[in-house]
Structure 1
Amino acid sequence: MIRSLRNLIRLLRVAHILARHGALAPLADALEAVGARSTFLDFAKLLFGRGRGSGRPGERLAAALAELGPAFIKLGQMLSTRTDLLGAQAAADLSTLQDRLPPFSSSIARATIEAELGRPISVLFASFDDRPVSAASIAQVHFAVLPPQPSIEGEPENGAKVTGEVAVKILRPGIEHAFRRDVDLLRWLAEIVEKTQPRLRRFRPVEAIESFARQVEFEMDLRLEAAAADELGHNFIGDPTYRVPKIDWPRSARRVLTQERLTGIRMDDRAALLAAGQDIDQVLTRAAAIFFKQAFRDGFFHGDQHPGNMVVDEEGRIGAVDFGIMGRLDKQTRIYLADMLLGLLERDYRRLAEIHIAAGIVPETESRDMLAQALRAIAEPVFGRPLNEISFARLLGQLFQLAETFDMQVPPHLLLLQKNMLMAEGVSRQLNPDLNIWTLAQPLIEEWMRENRGPEARVAEAVAGGVALMRRLPRLLTALEKAADRMAEPKPPSSLAAPLGTPWWAWAVLALALGVALFR
């Protein structure tokens, strides 16, 4: 009861801010588009009015979420992947929702660093810039310079991994309480939606909010972000095209992250890249290769690759920052994605339909022919046309309209990957609108498929399976021998087993078990 009352009061304040920005209408329209209505939104419009606001509906919603605070900013970023809920244009507008909070004071930043690391700023850094370079929903970043010599315990005396200029990320004060309060509100709303809106259950709102809550908890422990950056950097050791900042572990903790400072030109600044003598097509080719190495080779990808998080340095290397949102894809999902993209590039819509059904995204009961026809209707109009002539908003809107028709269930990690594909397309369009970035990726996908699904890969997999079996064979034979001994034990006269020796069916069971072990 207390929880419901607390959340209801908070919800009224949220509704008031949404109404003032004119953002209630887009939310109501989104619900109506998927066959549902919200009595609360209707009541809020009567209570507070529709509001005027300015700009497109998605832009008004983004402005309202920015005012509501960190949890709602993060929610807006998550919703920017859900074109199935809000439509392509509104989702694109929300994807521009970038860290609009005012910075907190440098005295609080300094106090947090000293409390977390247990040393004064003057010992930790040779200099520390009190002016934040960015103020995000969860943290803000300051630049600093490390001492020329090791100054704290645990720091290497020679060959230190991080030297010179660094970026120091500090969590906002009280951010944990603010997030937990608003996440509880969102969880409460999702529970109500699942109970009262059957048409919306296929979007799994409670599961979506739980995923959101886990992601936020992950982002509020900067040690986990440091670990993600370290893993991503390890995956690209020796790669001359991609830079991940090194982590200064002795100066990092739960609320503080210190890493190598990257410099360069924003990924989407065409004029600056050309002025610096960069080859635009080469930059895009490298970007496509990096994207598919992360997604297909490693199954571990940067989940927030907007232009503000990517730079191009003097040597043409692409650098990335901000590793709070990361995605993982298991081997089977990567194979599904490769099959899907190749089917799309080859215009094999029947194969594409089979892939969707085999992956469990579309139920077995759906018609393959009808799904193939629908996929053809969406994809065929875009082939052979430059990016500046293609409306990807319309394309994605049509694709997700299939969700209800074919009872599609799109996993969250694929939505995160799709969000990054949208961002990549946006940057590509700005740098060279006549180049389709995915045509650059086709040879990479085909090579990956040969390496992982071709005859050589299958032979290697069989050999690896045989080696693993040989290692397990002594233990397996011991277990089978014990089982045979138990089967051969004399049975009471009333037993149906043969009185002497091992019954024939025992050997049949042993043979079957060995066969399964050898040939599975």
Structure 2
Amino acid sequence: VTKDLYVMRRGVEWAEPIRKRFSAERTNYMELLNTWAGGFYEELDFKNEAYNQIQFKELLVKSDIQNVIVPEVFEEYSSRRLLVSEWIDGVKLTQADPEEIEKLVDVGNSAFLTQLLDWGVFHGDPHPGNLLVTPEGKLCILDFGLMANIPGEDRNKMVSAVIHVANKDFGQLVDDLIDLKFLPNDVDRPKVETVMGKVLGPFVYQGGGAKNVDFRSLARDLAGVTREIPFSIPPYYALVGRAIISLEGIALQADPDYRLVMEAYPYVARRVMSEDDTPELQKALAEILYKDGGFSVNRLAALLNSAMGYVGMSKDAIVDFDSIPEDGATASKFVEFILSNQSKSIRSTLSVELAKAIDIVLRRMVRLRTSEILSSMNRVPAPFRIGYNSVSKANELSAIRKDEELYVDSLIALSSQLLGVSQARYFSMNTHAL
């Protein structure tokens, strides 16, 4: 291994001047190679692998991930040169029946996304040989020699990047890529936005499922623009990218229309809704809910459904913030979820919007009742119109604008999911009667 790494280092030293001459890419391949080299040596240290495996198993036990297992390590029999762990019967995931692959791919992605977005401790080598299907139908993860640690700040930026891609906000996406060290601070932003729109546009706007939206194609297209923009790859992200491509390849084998980004959306939704003390994620939540400068009740309903695992599918987007699933969550599940710790951030937003809705409804009610009272008082002789001036001042409240009417109507539409159809109709009738 040491000789191989030495040859690779000499190769990088030889190739670096050529790359710098013909490409704008700024990836530090020597640093990347050093990171990989460290990973190779760590994989040869079975004490390190035992520690990783034990840590991963403990995190798995504390999580709510179902049907995923990790073999137990027998530390007393293990050393730097020998790892002894529990024997697990099973077959490679890719050798299982297509129906079983499709079912366990969702399980595997739950584990993968939890590692990536929640734990920050990431299995760097989830190829088919390291994923077994047990006779009980569970997914067994093997080989913990290569792990990556992802800082919390980077995990938040990954969430923001998914949201900005879905919102087609390539300007904000450039900021995310700068924060993630993919781009330098002095990058030509307008140029990069144009290139990102050209490369990512077909993946965002065109339909066709994963046949047209896959990470292999996206990675190839991004590699093709390195002559135009000073792109670089952070060392740890090389592991993330490889893992994503491996998992997506397994998923596409079972379902040609599989979309990894869409499958990640429930995790993105839960993440932005539960973090009330993280500015990046609060900003991301606002970018989802406030479309074109106004609060989108439709997006709120889609977000709540998605956070609970009910994802609205659209053939025209890899992630669709406006698509509400036909068979969404029940009213009781909505209420339970909103009141749980998973919705701390969204409750703050809802309280602001609820206050706004109450203001609109009360103004409409006061203006309507005031008009009725003034109409009645006009039939009374002037000397006997007691309190006329006070009542007329109440009528000076600002009129309800058309956009405010639409806003209240959209809240009523959402209440049809939260309260049930009959209650919503009652609420609608009484609100419009005001």
TM-score tier by shorter-chain length is 0.5 to 0.7
For residues 347-426 of structure 1, the aligned pairs below 5 Å read 347-383=168-204, 384-390=207-213, 392-426=215-249
CA contact (8 A) 1:311 1:319 kept: yes
Given residue 321 of structure 1, which amino acid in structure 2 is its aligned partner? L
Given residue 218 of structure 1, which amino acid in structure 2 is its aligned partner? E
CA contact (8 A) 2:71 2:85 kept: yes
1:182 aligned partner: 4
Aligned CA distance change for structure 1 residues 404 and 253 (closer, same or farther; 3 Å): same
2:76 aligned partner: 250
CA contact (8 A) 2:181 2:234 kept: no
2:271 aligned partner: 448
Candidates 74, 88, 103, aligned match of 1:262: 88
1:175 aligned partner: none
Provide the C-alpha distance between the structure 1 equivalents of 2:16 and 2:209, rounded to a whole number of angstroms: 42
Aligned CA distance change for structure 1 residues 403 and 450 (closer, same or farther; 3 Å): farther
SS in 1 for 2:246: helix
Unaligned segments of structure 2, at least 5 residues = 283-340, 342-434
Greater relative contact order structure (CA < 8 Å, 6+ sep):
2
Q: State the Cα distance separating 1:342 from its structure 2 match.
A: 2.0
1:341 aligned partner: 162
SS in 1 for 2:241: helix
Given residue 225 of structure 1, which amino acid in structure 2 is its aligned partner? E
Given residue 338 of structure 1, which amino acid in structure 2 is its aligned partner? V
Alignment pair present for 1:429 and 2:252 = yes
Alignment pair present for 1:296 and 2:122 = no
2:262 aligned partner: 439
Alignment pair present for 1:311 and 2:118 = no
Aligned CA distance change for structure 1 residues 189 and 249 (closer, same or farther; 3 Å): same
Q: State the Cα distance separating 1:281 from its structure 2 match.
A: 4.3
CA contact (8 A) 1:292 1:445 kept: no
- Sequence identity percentage: 22
For residues 165-204 of structure 1, the aligned pairs below 5 Å read 179-194=1-16, 198-199=20-21, 202-204=26-28
SS in 2 for 1:202: coil
Q: State the Cα distance separating 1:397 from its structure 2 match.
A: 1.4
Provide the C-alpha distance between the structure 2 equivalents of 1:195 and 1:441, rounded to a whole number of angstroms: 39
1:221 aligned partner: 45
1:311-342 CA-partner distances (Å, limit 9, x unpaired): 22244322111111111100111111111122
1:460-488 CA-partner distances (Å, limit 9, x unpaired): 9xxxxxxxxxxxxxxxxxxxxxxxxxxxx
SS in 1 for 2:226: helix
Aligned CA distance change for structure 1 residues 455 and 216 (closer, same or farther; 3 Å): closer
2:398 aligned partner: none
Provide the C-alpha distance between the structure 1 equivalents of 2:194 and 2:229, rounded to a whole number of angstroms: 12
Q: State the Cα distance separating 1:198 from its structure 2 match.
A: 4.0
Aligned CA distance change for structure 1 residues 190 and 296 (closer, same or farther; 3 Å): same
Given residue 290 of structure 1, which amino acid in structure 2 is its aligned partner? A
TM-score normalized by structure 2?
0.58
Provide the C-alpha distance between the structure 1 equivalents of 2:190 and 2:18, rounded to a whole number of angstroms: 35
For residues 509-520 of structure 1, the aligned pairs below 5 Å read none
Given residue 201 of structure 2, which amino acid in structure 1 is its aligned partner? E
Aligned length: 276
Candidates 72, 97, 107, aligned match of 1:286: 107
Aligned CA distance change for structure 1 residues 237 and 395 (closer, same or farther; 3 Å): same
Unaligned segments of structure 1, at least 5 residues = 1-178, 461-520
CA contact (8 A) 2:102 2:251 kept: no
Aligned CA distance change for structure 1 residues 426 and 382 (closer, same or farther; 3 Å): same
Provide the C-alpha distance between the structure 2 equivalents of 1:454 and 1:196, rounded to a whole number of angstroms: 46
TM-score normalized by structure 1?
0.49
CA contact (8 A) 1:386 1:436 kept: yes
CA contact (8 A) 1:342 1:442 kept: no
2:328 aligned partner: none
Provide the C-alpha distance between the structure 1 equivalents of 2:137 and 2:189, rounded to a whole number of angstroms: 45
1:366-403 CA-partner distances (Å, limit 9, x unpaired): 23333222222222323432223446443221112333
Instruction: Name which of structure 1's ranges 208-217 and 229-238 shifts more when overlaid on structure 2.
Output: 208-217
Aligned CA distance change for structure 1 residues 209 and 455 (closer, same or farther; 3 Å): closer
CA contact (8 A) 2:96 2:133 kept: no
Given residue 234 of structure 1, which amino acid in structure 2 is its aligned partner? E
SS in 1 for 2:221: helix
Q: State the Cα distance separating 1:352 from its structure 2 match.
A: 1.3
Provide the C-alpha distance between the structure 1 equivalents of 2:277 and 2:135, rounded to a whole number of angstroms: 39
Instruction: Name which of structure 1's ranges 256-265 and 189-198 shifts more when overlaid on structure 2.
Output: 189-198
Provide the C-alpha distance between the structure 1 equivalents of 2:224 and 2:199, rounded to a whole number of angstroms: 10
CA contact (8 A) 1:303 1:417 kept: yes
Aligned CA distance change for structure 1 residues 204 and 365 (closer, same or farther; 3 Å): closer
Q: State the Cα distance separating 1:454 from its structure 2 match.
A: 6.0
SS in 2 for 1:361: coil
Aligned CA distance change for structure 1 residues 317 and 333 (closer, same or farther; 3 Å): same
SS in 2 for 1:327: strand
Aligned CA distance change for structure 1 residues 268 and 344 (closer, same or farther; 3 Å): farther
